[in-house]
Amino acid sequence: MRLGEIRRRLRLQAALEGAVRGAALAALGLAVGVAIARGRGGAPPVRDLAALMFLGTAAGAAARGARRITLTRCARIADAALDGQDRLLSALCLDAAEPSPFARALRADAIRRVEVLVPGAAVPARRPAGLSALGLAGLALAAAALVPGASHAARIAPLAVAVEPRRPLPDGALDSEREAARDAVSEAARLGDERLAALAGELDRTLRRLADGKLNDGAALDLLRALEARTTEAARDARRDGLAAEAAARALEASGETRAAGSALAQTGAGTGDDARAREALGASAAAHPAETARALTAAAQNLAGAAESGGDAPGSESKEGPRRLEREAQNGGSAGSENGAPRAGDPETRHLEQLRRDLDDAAAACRSGDASCRSGAEDRAQDLARLGRQGAARDALQRLQRTAEQVRARIGRGELRQGDTNAMRSFGRAARGAEAPTGTGSDSDGDQTGGDDRAGESDAQGKSSEGGAGARARKPGSDEGQGNGNGNGAEAAAASAAFGTEGGDAPSREEAGTGNGIGHQPGGPPLGARAAESGPAAGSEADVPIADGAGPGRAEVIGTAAGHGFATRGYARMFGDYAAAVEDALGTTAVPEGKRYLVRRYFDLIRPRPDGRTSRSHP
């Protein structure tokens, strides 16, 4: 019957489709195999490939062709080719199940119709599915077989960015820093300064863990950065304490009756005094000369408040405004900025100083009124002032501690602590120190600077920075100064003049002369490069000489120039701050893996601005 023919055609189609898919899979697998074999330097045998292809094709055809094809499916296909009314399907299903007259009539009807059915129309030949896959697989196989691959030896190992393993540092790698930390511990013990002792101990522990390999570099950087910040703050507070204590001691020394106490306190502030001696001296003074002692204590309170209020910037200030302002800030919670070490109202140190000032005032009042507590109060205040002086005496140790932490951080950043990085860092460090920087000894004697207008010293704020304008670079020799229009203030003009002179060697030709309008800020140096001849080797690589038209180098130029000068240009330092702040901000708010965090910080440490020691900013 026709259904059998339909089934055969369906099976043939399925087998063909299976063959195509099998061939596609075989080709894909062979492509992978060939690629691997070629990668290992071998050559795949063609006969084996052909055999595998044949096997894959045959397997696919057999797998699909052997699938069961039901008569119901054939009937549906035949029905679809007839009139879509499922006559054959119904006849097939009802023929066995229901031998009713209706079923017999249905069967006769189905047979009559299927006789006119052409199996080829029911199952038309069609393109087997999977041909496109076969084509792609064939292409992949051809590519794997024909495209030349890099040899094993020619491969470049990918640059591995790995977190440095924790391993002990080489012996002696941190000896100097640990010695500094131990010195700070000793100093803290001598001064009795717990704050210094704690910070020094923490640094020592960090260094020990780092040396033992118990701390990776990224974590160490974080710890050191935090420690550095705390040490800096402690040093600032110590400086205030010291200045405040010195001011108070001076006030006491100013009076004949309390001079002995003042001297004792001054020695205490220098780290050599004795608390008991100061206490005894001031107590004796209070007992013998209460009125004079009261005046001295009042003066000491005022001096202390003044010193505290100025944050040490104006030591010895005896302004009477000081105590009032200190009080006001303490009461208001103050909005005074803390920049530049200025006291912040409300911080513990400010409160402590304010308390001490009040205590001094109270003691003075007691002595002035002849109160019995005059002596004891004076002794206690002497004790307080001595303690304050000792805290102030720790400022140098704290600063050394801060520098030590900074130094270790820098060394970690440069990778100096790791033996394997030493060589790489050495070359970079050489570049960073500007070893390759030009050391021109150019003479400005042939320069055509005149600079006369600049020396007039008319100040114009334009262009203190190197971004100020084209021609701002001293290494762009020319007549910046010479054509200056006198808008600059003397300082900058002088710098420009000097730099111009020293950079003469860097300028091979006077034809490169800039056309900028030199602007100085101070009286200019000797014109026509006379001073440059004295300045010897060019230390300067930058002169912030703006031009009137405002055009200046972009950031890329600034960075490029800075890289060529050991990252020691001033413009670069400012720009670096922007980027570093953005990076710290991003690292602080983003989940960055520790290894990557370390890489970023290390990179920024490597390119951090260097001290401006080489930059010629020589003033006349």
Partner 1 sequence: MSAPRPSDLDGDAAAVTAGVAAFRSDVDRLLGEIGRRLVGQHDVAGAVVAALLAGGHVLLEGVPGLGKTLLVRTTAAAIDLTFSRVQFTPDLMPADVIGTNLIVDDAGGRRFEFQKGPIFAHVVLADEINRATPKTQSALLEAMQEQSVTVGKQTYALPPPFFVLATQNPIEMEGTYPLPEAQLDRFLFKLRVESPTGAELHQILDRTTGVEGEATEVVLGRDRLLEMRALVRRVPVARPIQDFVVRLVEATHPARTPLGEVKRFVRYGSSPRGAQAVILGAKIEALRAGRFAPSFADVRRVAIPALRHRVLLNFDGEAEGITSDVLVERLLAALPEMP
Instruction: Note the residues at the interface with partner 1 (CB under 8 A).
Output: 1, 3, 72, 76, 79, 84-87, 89-95, 97-98, 100-109, 111-112, 115
Q: 81 or 307: whose CB is closer to partner 1?
A: 81
CB of 214 to partner 1, least distance (A): 59
Closest distance of CB 114 from partner 1, Å: 8
> Using alpha carbons only, what angle is made at residue 558 by residues 557 and 563, rounded to the nearest 5 degrees?
95
Neighbours of 33 (CB within 10 A): 16
Q: How far is the CB of 111 from partner 1 (least distance, A)?
A: 5
Q: 112 or 351: whose CB is closer to partner 1?
A: 112
The nearest distance, CB 104 to partner 1, in angstroms, is 4
User: What are the angstrom distances between the C-alpha of 296 and each of 301, 368, 376?
Assistant: 9, 11, 16
Helix residue ranges per DSSP H, 394-451: 395-414, 422-432
Tokens of 222: 């974080």
Q: Is 106:86 a contact under the CB 8 Å cutoff?
A: no
Measured from the CB atom, is 2 or 295 closer to partner 1?
Answer: 2
Host H or E run for residue 233: helix 217-253
Report H helices in 40-130. 46-65, 71-81, 87-97, 101-114, 119-122
The number of residues making up the chain comes to: 620
Report, in Å, the least distance between residue 1 CB and partner 1.
6
Nearer to partner 1, 108 or 586 (CB): 108
In angstroms, give the least distance from the CB of 88 to partner 1. 9
To the nearest 10 degrees (0 to 180), the angle between helices 217-253 and 290-309 is 150
Q: Which residues contact 54 (CB under 8 A, 6 or more apart)?
A: none
CA distance 156 to 161: 15
Minimum distance, C-beta of residue 67 to partner 1, in the bound complex (Å): 17
The position carrying tokens 């780092």 is 210
The answer to whether residues 53 and 20 touch, using CB atoms and an 8 Å cutoff, is: no
> Residue holding tokens 């009461």?
331
Q: Is the Cβ of residue 93 or residue 580 nearer to partner 1 in the bound state?
A: 93
User: Shortest gap between Cβ of 100 and partner 1 (angstroms)?
Assistant: 6
Quote the least distance from Cβ 126 to partner 1, whole Å. Answer: 21
Shortest distance in whole angstroms from residue 81 CB to partner 1: 14
Q: Which two tokens stand for residue 23?
A: 């061939």
Bridge partners, 135 (sequence order): none
Tell me how far CA of residue 295 lies from CA of 91, 241, 286, 291, 367, in angstroms: 128, 22, 11, 6, 9
- Please write down the long-range contacts of 366-373, taking CB distance under 8 Å and 24 or more positions apart: 366/294, 367/286, 367/290, 367/291, 367/293, 367/294, 367/297, 368/290, 368/291, 368/294, 370/290
Closest distance to partner 1 from the beta carbon of 83 (Å): 9
Residue 130, Ramachandran bin (φ over 0: left; ψ between -120 and 50: alpha; else beta):
left
Q: How far is the CB of 12 from partner 1 (least distance, A)?
A: 22
Measured from the CB atom, is 67 or 167 closer to partner 1? Answer: 67
Between 38 and 104, whose beta carbon lies closer to partner 1? Answer: 104
In the complex with partner 1, the residue whose CB is nearer, 93 or 145, is: 93
Measured from the CB atom, is 102 or 579 closer to partner 1? 102
Nearer to partner 1, 2 or 344 (CB): 2
Q: Which is nearer to partner 1, 3 or 562 (CB)?
A: 3
* Integer Cα distance of 482 and 446 in angstroms: 12
Q: What is the helix, strand, coil percentage profile of the chain, to 5?
A: 65, 0, 35
Between 87 and 414, name the residue whose CB sits nearer to partner 1: 87
User: In angstroms, what CA-CA distances link 293 with 226, 267, 298, 313, 356?
Assistant: 44, 20, 8, 28, 16
| Cα distances (angstroms) measured from residue 578 to each of 562, 566, 582, 596, 604 | 15, 19, 6, 20, 12
- Considering the complex, what minimum distance in angstroms separates the CB of residue 580 from partner 1? 55
Query: Closer CB to partner 1, residue 111 or residue 563?
Result: 111
Shortest gap between Cβ of 26 and partner 1 (angstroms)?
33
Helices 290-309, 321-332: axis angle to 10 degrees equals 60
177 CB-side CA count, 13 A: 26
> Of 108 and 276, which has the nearer Cβ to partner 1?
108
